Amino acid sequence: MDISLQGKTALVTGGSRGIGKAIAATFVRCGANVMIVSRKEDSLRATAEEIGGNIAYIAANTGDVDSAESVVQQTLAKFGAIDIFVNNAATNPYAGPMMDVDQSRYDKTFQVNLRGPVFWTQSVWKHWMKDHPGVIVNIASIGGLRTEASLGVYNLTKAAIIHMTRQLAGELGATRVVGIAPGLIVTDFAQMLVDNFGETLAKRLPTKRLGQPQDIANLVAFLASDLASWITGETYVIDGGAGVTAGTM
């Protein structure tokens, strides 16, 4: 059965590259109007031109709570609705033990990865979804379900996003809230890991390859569609089988 988002409007943060770009392109192919947001207007413009279709963009810092109101209002003025909201934007300015993180980079990680999603979701809810139930998709990480030596602070925010998904599903009722926890995906964001460990990690997976942004976008499109209308509050791991590698041939 084909996934249809015909007549829907989606707002995607971090939509100019990587997973966000793949989500935006997939939404357009499924018939949706799409507004993408990130900080750099040049990158947004290039992405919108590449994707084509019913796509628009607004340059804004998703870690800035005040920007949410403006972006939501502009999206409603442009498309008349926000049926799907994807919290995808994230940052990771620090890699190392949690006990060595400085206050500035700790605050930056939480500003973008957690405070932003909470208050951007709040704005979407108050201005549209409260009266017009929709779908909120939170992009977490498998890091939010495990420990890692150098990503403790980042993973702490992603664990919070997983819980936020459950919490908001309980609060928002008819507006479905779902999450996705990707494994290692080949993006600019993860370039260092891919370059240094990608080949080794891929060999350990049952699927024998790393994830691509399109792998995530496919699941997002399904969860955002009416095909998933009885799903809310859950976060879905998509990691190429990283958690079931024991005993694979």
Q: Residues 46, 217: contact at Cβ < 8 Å?
A: no
Assess contact for 183 and 201: CB atoms under 8 A: no
Angle at 24 between CA 105 and CA 175, to 5 degrees: 85
Q: Specify the residue for token string 């390859």.
A: 209
> Could you tell me the pTM of the whole model?
0.94
Q: Using CB atoms within 10 Å of the CB of residue 6, give its burial: 0 to 12 exposed, 13 to 18 middle, 19+ buried.
A: exposed
- pLDDT tens track for 173-202: 999 999 999 998 887 765 666 666 667 677
Q: Which of 57, 94, 106, 154 is catalytic?
A: 154
Percent of the chain residues past pLDDT 70, beyond the cut: 93
Confirm if 119 and 72 have CB atoms less than 8 A apart: no
**How many whole angstroms separate alpha carbon 238 and alpha carbon 231?**
16
pLDDT digits (tens, 9 = 90+) for 125-176: 999 999 999 999 999 999 999 998 899 999 999 999 999 999 999 999 999 9
The answer to whether 98 touches 62, Cβ cutoff 8 Å, is: no
| CA angle, residues 191, 85, 10, in degrees to nearest 5 | 95
pLDDT confidence band for 203 (50 / 70 / 90): confident
Residue that has been written with the tokens 């829907």 in this structure: 8
For the chain, list the domains and their CATH numbers.
9-236 (3.40.50.720)
Active site residue 57: no
